Amino acid sequence: MTKIDWEKLQLKFWFDHNQTGISAKGWCNKYQLNYATARRYIKVRAVKESIISQVESNPIVKTRKAPKRRGPPYGSQNALKHGGYSKYFYNDFEQRMEATSENDRLLLCRTRIHNVIFKIIQIQKHLEKQPSVQITLKLYDALFFADLAIDKNIARIEAVTKKVSSRNLDNLKGYLKEMI
């Protein structure tokens, strides 16, 4: 009976396990090895630790640093097309404000509409210069989305106005009932 080289088999198992995710028992069945004997010698954790220590000790092979955060820096507005869907708006003093009341929501929607109209004017100026076909397509896409943003904000203004006016009407009806 020949002696089995468990170190080579351990490396082979580790490689197969990384490639396919095969379990030790399934791997032993595949290569017709006794699983009860093999589990004493085949240790995935030991192989991983030895390979990691070899990589760290080798000056040629450098470990990879954690990847940098992808995309623009935090707070960048490079991708801002028209601001029609923003949650916040800026007042005259460049302070960021959030819409909390109905009047704030109305002001926010109106501000968005003004911003989008300003962007539409800029896009139209770019289109007058007759840019390349690809840039023209991007500009028309931006016009389409700006139009959608205007429609969405007009619908919001209508909904908030209806809500405020119906509340005022209900208050007036209650006041008139108290008077009678």
Residues of the chain short of pLDDT 70, as ranges, are 1, 44-67, 74-100
pLDDT score at 156: 86
Residues in the chain: 180
pLDDT score at 55: 58
pLDDT score at 24: 81
Mean of all residue pLDDT scores within the chain = 77
pLDDT score at 92: 57
Ordered by start, the domain boundaries in the chain are 6-57, 88-179
pLDDT score at 37: 84
- Taking the whole predicted model, whether its pTM rises above 0.75 is answered as no
At 68-79, the pLDDT tens digits run 777 777 666 666
The secondary structure of the chain, three-state, reads CCCCCHHHHHHHHHHHHHHHCCCHHHHHHHCCCCHHHHHHHCCHHHHHHHHHHHHHHCCCCCCCCCCCCCCCCCCCCCCCCCCCCCCEEECCCCCEEECCCHHHHHHHHHHHHHHHHHHHHHHHHHHHCCCCHHHHHHHHHHHHHHHHHHHHHHHHHHHHHHHHHHHHHHHHHHHHHHHC
